[in-house]
Structure 1
């Protein structure tokens, strides 16, 4: 985490939780991540997994930390399934950037237990895309992968 008084990490709510300077209901922590209950849960049991080191989004996260966040998220999803009130499904959600509905700019993974009739939906009008356009998109992505090494 940066030391500058003006750094994003200095003003970050999740960095404050990681540093134990803000309250949180922690369910897991290790040397890389902290997982805690979301203060504004979609459903009871909604968890957030955050890296200890401040990273605004995916581009700021190294591979090892990213893999660990997802691994812990997977373990937490399995635990939610085993609860006495066991959920019926799980949403794993990542909002990376303002256009993707990210509101706290410290990378975090949502692990959301789902129940029939819980009232939360993810609905979008998604028209089918022409095959030629899909192929063009796929080529552009392959090119971008090649350019990142």
Structure 2
């Protein structure tokens, strides 16, 4: 997808209206139209990058430095905010549906607010040796 076809690039450049709650030279934060819960916000880099795999350290610093500021505003904008989910989906298997990097901040009001995450605990399927092998393989990719 090119920048000219990207809905988030169009939002970042003001070509499509949005409910922006933050904007600086590198980042835009705006309300998600789906509003999974009231205040559901997306944080995007203005630069078109597909997902987290395309970030360099400079872009990561620019994007991730605004998350705590937005998170605090979401916690404080209503007295009934009880928590917050921060979610970043990368590639279709991980539920990415718009291929411009974005981070969801979803205020939580209760455990009955119709939002949930599910994963299974597979700790009994991995030995300490299995975990050591996984750890070393990842460290090798990091160059550590």
TM-score by length of 2: 0.92
* 1:22 aligns with one of 8, 16, 19: 16
Contact 1:87 1:113 in 2 (8 A): yes
- In the TM superposition, residue 86 of structure 1 has moved relative to its aligned partner by 4.1
**Equivalent residue pairs, number:** 141
Residue 145 of structure 1 corresponds to 142
Once residues 97 and 78 of structure 2 are traced to their aligned partners in structure 1, the CA distance between those partners, rounded to angstroms, is: 32
Once residues 12 and 61 of structure 2 are traced to their aligned partners in structure 1, the CA distance between those partners, rounded to angstroms, is: 19
Once residues 53 and 140 of structure 2 are traced to their aligned partners in structure 1, the CA distance between those partners, rounded to angstroms, is: 17
Answer yes or no: is 1:131 the counterpart of 2:125: no
Runs of 4+ in 1 over 6 A off after TM superposition: none
Answer yes or no: is 1:73 the counterpart of 2:70: no
Which is further off, 78-87 or 96-105? Answer: 78-87
Which is further off, 38-47 or 83-92? Answer: 83-92
Structure 1 residues not aligned, in runs of 5+: 1-6
Contact 1:27 1:37 in 2 (8 A): yes
TM-score by length of 1: 0.89
Once residues 17 and 75 of structure 1 are traced to their aligned partners in structure 2, the CA distance between those partners, rounded to angstroms, is: 21
SS at match of 1:43: coil
